[in-house]
Copies of this chain bind each other. A is one copy, B any other.
Amino acid sequence: MLDREQLAEALRAALEQEPPSFPADLFELRDADIVEVLNHLTVPEAAHALGHFPLPLAIRLCEQPELRRRPTILEQLEPAQAAAILEGLSSDDRAFVLRAMTPHGQHRMLPTLSAVVRAEVETLLRYPPKTAGGIMTTEFVTLDPAMTVQQALQHIRTVAAEKETIYACYVLEPGTDKLLGAVSLRDLLMADAATLLPAVMRKKPIAVTVRDTHDVVAKKISKYNLLAVPVLEDGGRVVGFVTVDDVIDLMVEDETDNALRMGAVEPGALDLPYMQTPFVEMVKKRATWLVVLFLGEMLTATAMGHFEDEIAKAVVLALFVPLIISSGGNSGSQASTLIIRAMALGEFRLTDWWKVARREILSGLALGTILGAIGFLRIALWSAFSDIYGPHWVLVALTVALSLIGVVTWGTISGSMLPLILRRLGADPATSSAPFVATLVDVTGLVIYFTVAFVVMHGTIL
């Protein structure tokens, strides 16, 4: 069996003939594996391949969120081919793909769709992305409260082919589309055939509103172990559903995005596999974040510039600069992480900020004292066996120890309070805190350190 890269190579070669004769190995793969092969191709190559694949396969491939550059690939297809694929996609994937197209692509594509599909797409596109409305699908099994279990099962059998899942079904009030209850296929199979649905359905099912963000949706599905969750408009009308599959895809995407941001990489920076990304493009995208952080960190040089005289008089002070600022940074990011997690789990309310602050101030003092004591001991120990820190080593050790208490306390306070402030301002604390905290704590850490040094050493070394 050829590996992905070799298959991509074979596919590329096949596309140069007209009509292309695709490698036999390719169609023995599962859809998700063919997607990986397509990810190794350029956009025009992938579009060319999709255009020559059987339509049902092309549709299934375009339903995989793992297919990178889906919107661009579809834009590059012949309009008739693209329309045929779009018509075949489930409503949430169709909306996702169209949303991500260029305005030009959208305008070219929408008129090629059938009237029904176009109306539906236009409704879905009205909801913002990353909300329940923006990710929901409309292909779901809805049942009537007047049905018996047997009628419901019969109905499900008839419509099964077009629905995303048939395992979670919803009972809606006829006419108003209000949510009356939820019933799983399992409940239906186990219930007596003649029972009316209201007797087997679960009343007041968990639901979300169109405006709930996608992580609220993910959290509900994962917390209550659901297979799907209905999406309600104002007034309680059911307008769509989000499935557990969609939530997994969102979680994978979110986890990746967060990991990338923490690592100073802009999410979506690399739409192509690492090895296939053109060098210049990769450097451009990586440079952006590094430059932003660099500009922020330049403030440290400015801050230290103010203490040049002190450093000249006591060069020994410079030696501990990296240690001091990294301790502040580490304690700051530790506090941020804990607070962001506790907020995400709803462990306290924003109005409890003062209780949190008090706890973090005390934690910061305790942690700073621990690090300060270790720092003091380290300098004392080295000074016992060498003259490295000079005759005034006690003052040096005292400066380092007191600064560590100050810097760690300050890092802990700012690391814990910034997420609360960001949340209060409506920003997502998880993604925006880290670089802020780092720069803030580095600059203020230096000021604390040299101020402590001035006070401790005034009249002796300084």
A interface residues (Cβ-Cβ under 8 A, vs B): 4, 30, 32, 36, 66, 153, 156-157, 160-161, 166-167, 185-186, 189-190, 206, 221-225, 244-245, 247-249, 251-252, 255-256, 258-260, 262-265, 270, 273-275, 279, 282-283, 286-287, 289-291, 293-295, 297-298, 300-301, 304-305, 308, 311-312, 315-316, 318-323, 325-327, 330-331, 333-334, 336-342, 345-348, 352, 355-356, 359, 362-363, 366-367, 370-371, 374-375, 378, 388, 408, 438, 442, 446
Residue of B nearest to A272 (CB): B347
B160 near A294 with CB under 8 A, answer no
A305 near B388 with CB under 8 A, answer yes
A156 cross-chain contacts in B, Cβ below 8 A: 189
State which of B245, B345, B371 has its C-beta within 8 Å of the C-beta of A294.
Answer: B371
CA distance in complex: A164, B192 (Å): 21
A322 cross-chain contacts in B, Cβ below 8 A: 297, 300-301, 304, 321-322, 325, 442, 446
Q: Can you list 8 A-B pairs with a CB-CB distance of less than 8 A?
A: A30-B206, A248-B251, A263-B333, A275-B352, A290-B330, A291-B371, A295-B374, A301-B320
CA distance in complex: A186, B311 (Å): 75
A161 near B185 with CB under 8 A, answer no
A259 near B326 with CB under 8 A, answer no
A222 cross-chain contacts in B, Cβ below 8 A: 248-249, 252
B258 near A248 with CB under 8 A, answer no
List 9 additional contacts besides A157-B190, A294-B330, A297-B322; criterion CB under 8 Å. A166-B186, A262-B333, A274-B341, A275-B352, A286-B338, A301-B320, A304-B319, A308-B316, A311-B311
State which of B255, B331, B352 has its C-beta within 8 Å of the C-beta of A290.
Answer: B331
A260 near B330 with CB under 8 A, answer no
A224 cross-chain contacts in B, Cβ below 8 A: 30, 32
A312 cross-chain contacts in B, Cβ below 8 A: 312, 315
A206 cross-chain contacts in B, Cβ below 8 A: 30
Residue of B nearest to A333 (CB): B263
Residue of B nearest to A325 (CB): B322
A374 cross-chain contacts in B, Cβ below 8 A: 291, 294-295
B341 near A323 with CB under 8 A, answer no
**With known contacts A157-B190, A185-B185, A337-B259, A318–B327 Cβ distance under 8 A:** no
CA distance in complex: A161, B222 (Å): 22
Residue of B nearest to A289 (CB): B334
Residue of B nearest to A326 (CB): B297
A30 cross-chain contacts in B, Cβ below 8 A: 206, 224
A321 near B321 with CB under 8 A, answer yes
A286 near B347 with CB under 8 A, answer no
A259 cross-chain contacts in B, Cβ below 8 A: 258, 262, 337, 340-341
**With known contacts A167-B167, A286-B367, A319-B301, A326–B442 Cβ distance under 8 A:** yes
A263 cross-chain contacts in B, Cβ below 8 A: 333-334, 336-338
Complex A-B, nearest 3 residue pairs according to Cβ-Cβ distance, in ascending order: A263-B337, A274-B342, A300-B322
CA distance in complex: A378, B301 (Å): 11
B323 near A321 with CB under 8 A, answer no
Residue of B nearest to A247 (CB): B248
State which of B258, B273, B319 has its C-beta within 8 Å of the C-beta of A342.
Answer: B273
A153 cross-chain contacts in B, Cβ below 8 A: 189
B347 near A283 with CB under 8 A, answer no
A345 cross-chain contacts in B, Cβ below 8 A: 273
CA distance in complex: A378, B296 (Å): 13
A311 cross-chain contacts in B, Cβ below 8 A: 311, 315, 318
Distance of A351 from chain B, by nearest CB (Å): 12
Distance of A361 from chain B, by nearest CB (Å): 12
A32, A289, A323 pick with most chain B CB within 10 angstroms: A323
State which of B166, B185, B273, B321 has its C-beta within 8 Å of the C-beta of A347.
Answer: B273
